[in-house]
Amino acid sequence: MNIDATFWVAISFFLFVGMLFYFKVPQKVDQLLSDSIKKIQEEIENAEKLKDDAKNILSDYEMKLSKSKTEIENLIKNAETQSEKNILKANAEFHKIIEIRKKNVEEKIQQMKNQAIKDIKNSSIEIAIQSVKKIIKNSIDKKKLDKIYVSSIDEAKKILKNKSI
């Protein structure tokens, strides 16, 4: 029998495969691959957990952002309504002050008018008395004149007192 090189290659191949199984190389390779797969799976699970955590944090911040936007809008609306109320209040107070000042001015004008009327009456009475004195001096004697003068002054005083009261 003639043994050729292919026979020896086949035998060396079987010996090599046998030695691999004898030294448990496929189980070690399998173990290494299984460990690597487990590590990769753990890393994937950790990555998924981190992804879920990131999504939760993102949703929390989005909720906080939307809440803060609504709060800001509410604050702006409240500020606008408060400023409108303040403007209306200030406007009403301004009108009240103007009304009070207007009434005060009208009262002062009325007082001045009344005082002017009194002054005119007093001065016209004095002028009338002086003119009556002159007329009486020129036309009546002194005794009659003094009597008429005193009585007319008393009458004028009585009339003025009645009118001023």
In tens, the pLDDT along 79-124 reads 999 999 999 999 999 999 999 999 999 999 999 999 988 888 888 8
The pLDDT tens digits of the residues spanning 26-63 come to 888 889 999 999 999 999 999 999 999 999 999 999 99
**How many angstroms separate the Cα of 111 from the Cα of each of 100, 105, 119, 151?**
16, 10, 12, 32
Between 64-68, 93-97, 132-136, the lowest mean confidence (pLDDT) is in 132-136
The per-residue pLDDT of the chain, averaged, comes to: 86
Q: Is residue 160 part of a domain?
A: yes
Buried b (16+ CB within 10 A) or exposed e, 111-132: eeeeeeeeeeeeeeeeeeeeee
Report yes or no on 136 lying in a domain: yes
Asked if the structure places residue 4 within a domain, the reply is no
Distance, CA of 99 to CA of 67 (rounded, Å)? 47
Print burial letters for 137-146: b (CB count within 10 Å at least 16), e (below 16). eeeeeeeebe
- Give the pLDDT band of residue 128 (cuts 50, 70, 90): confident
Tell me which residue range forms the domain holding 71.
Answer: 25-164
Question: What per-residue confidence (pLDDT) applies to 136?
Answer: 62
Q: Is residue 9 part of a domain?
A: no
Q: Whole-angstrom Cα distance, residue 118 to residue 128?
A: 15
The tally of domains found in the chain comes to: 1
What was the pLDDT predicted at 139? Answer: 66
The Cα–Cα gap between 74 and 66 comes to 12
